[in-house]
């Protein structure tokens, strides 16, 4: 593994432009340009950024694309043009299934990581998407500046097994696009830093703000370090957060707290006993 270097994350918090794919591509281009100008290595967007989240099953199916479709090509061009890696989110079509998906595209425009949401929340999610399996194809990590990066989407991070699974696989930072509503402020305020703390991983959480149809999003996007401490926090309004992760801070967190190490040791002991 390459030595870790400082990694600067940009987290986009914005309103949802439902059903406005060209406008969202333009917003992504502008956000990528601004994030890179401010020194970011990677830009993280909210859940279903390219199409909007609460758009209905018919629209989701009409706007869904394969993972290497026109959306991927457009994002690759933006990433190359501005020299920044991008985590972007969209409805993915595969055969007869539609998944809530995220991709990490490199600054060179190459696909580094693909992830499908495994835990669907409520009727809205379940009527629009298929739940993905937690398998080898949906549990990978990518490397950027020496950091091992994992992806989750929204509700996934609320289940402790999901960040722990990525941490045990070697993740240093987990990136979470979300569409979290105001009434669930407990998630960004408490669960996100807890997931980081209990796994000694940095975590970035990118949410919408404002209304989308009958929903009202809560904002509160954040980047927290591997001790669960905030490095950057948004309020309810649009924002572009920037935070720099350092290898020294990660090493310090993992020497201060050893939850993950001790859990891994117990797993190894249980496996050797069996």
pLDDT 10s digits, 34-88:
999 999 999 999 999 999 999 999 999 999 999 999 999 999 999 999 999 999 9
Q: Is the pLDDT of residue 268 over 90?
A: no
Q: What is the pLDDT of residues 184-205, one digit of tens each?
A: 999 999 999 999 999 999 999 9
- State how far the Cα of 200 lies from the Cα of 250, in Å rounded to an integer: 8
pLDDT for the residue numbered 139:
82
User: Residue 74 carries which DSSP code?
Assistant: H
The per-residue pLDDT for 165 is 96
Domains of the chain as residue ranges with CATH: 7-273 (3.60.110.10)
Share of the chain above pLDDT 70, in %: 99
User: Phi and psi of 18, rounded to 5°?
Assistant: -65, 135
For 172-189, the pLDDT digits (tens) are: 999 999 999 999 999 999
**pLDDT (0 to 100) of residue 265:** 80
Give the pLDDT band of residue 1 (cuts 50, 70, 90): low
SS3 of residue 41 by DSSP? coil
Contact 87, 43 (CB under 8 A): yes
**Reported confidence tier of residue 247, pLDDT bands at 50, 70, 90:** very high
Name the DSSP letter for residue 20: -
Q: How far is residue 233 from each of residues 146, 155, 243, measured CA to CA in Å?
A: 25, 20, 10
Give the Cα separation of 254 and 263 in Å (integer). Answer: 13
Helix intervals (H) in the chain: 21-37, 57-63, 70-82, 122-128, 161-168, 186, 192-199, 247-256, 259-273
Estimate to the nearest angstrom the gap between the alpha carbon of 251 and the chain centroid: 22
Q: Any idea which residues carry the catalytic annotation?
A: 47, 117, 154
- What gap in Å lies between CA 261 and CA 51, rounded to an integer? 40
Section 220-247 average pLDDT = 98
pLDDT at 135: 86
What is the rounded CA–CA span in Å between residue 132 and residue 11? 25
Angle between helices 161-168 and 192-199 (to 10 degrees): 30
Q: List phi, psi (to 5°) of 20.
A: -115, 70
- Number of Cβ within 10 Å of residue 124's Cβ equals 18
Q: What is the pLDDT of residue 42?
A: 99
Q: What is the pTM of this model?
A: 0.96
């Amino acid at each position: 593994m390459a030595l870790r270097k400082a990694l600067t994350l940009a987290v986009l918090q914005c309103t949802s432009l439902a059903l406005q794919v060209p406008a969202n591509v333009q917003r992504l281009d502008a956000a990528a340009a601004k994030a890179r100008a401010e020194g970011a290595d990677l830009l993280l967007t909210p859940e279903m950024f390219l199409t909007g989240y609460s758009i209905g099953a018919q629209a989701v199916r009409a706007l869904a694309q394969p993972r290497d479709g026109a959306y991927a090509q457009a994002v690759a061009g933006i990433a190359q043009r501005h020299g920044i890696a991008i985590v972007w989110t969209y409805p993915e079509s595969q055969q007869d299934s539609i998944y809530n998906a995220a991709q990490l595209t490199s600054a060179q425009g190459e696909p580094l990581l693909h992830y499908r949401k495994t835990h669907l929340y409520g009727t809205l999610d379940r009527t629009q998407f298929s739940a993905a399996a937690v398998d080898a194809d949906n549990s990978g990590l990518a490397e950027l500046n020496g950091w091992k990066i994992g992806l989750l989407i929204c509700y996934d991070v609320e289940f402790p097994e999901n960040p722990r699974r990525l941490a045990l696989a070697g993740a240093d930072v987990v990136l979470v696009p979300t569409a979290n509503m105001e009434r669930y402020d407990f998630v960004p305020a408490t669960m996100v830093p807890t997931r980081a703390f209990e796994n000694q991983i940095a975590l970035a959480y990118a949410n919408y703000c404002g209304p989308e149809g009958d929903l009202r999003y809560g904002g509160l996007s954040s980047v927290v370090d591997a001790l669960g401490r905030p490095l950057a926090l948004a309020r309810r309004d649009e924002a572009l957060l920037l935070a720099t992760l350092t290898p020294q801070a990660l090493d310090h967190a993992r020497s201060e707290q050893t939850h993950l190490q001790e859990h891994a040791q117990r797993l190894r002991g249980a496996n050797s006993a069996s």
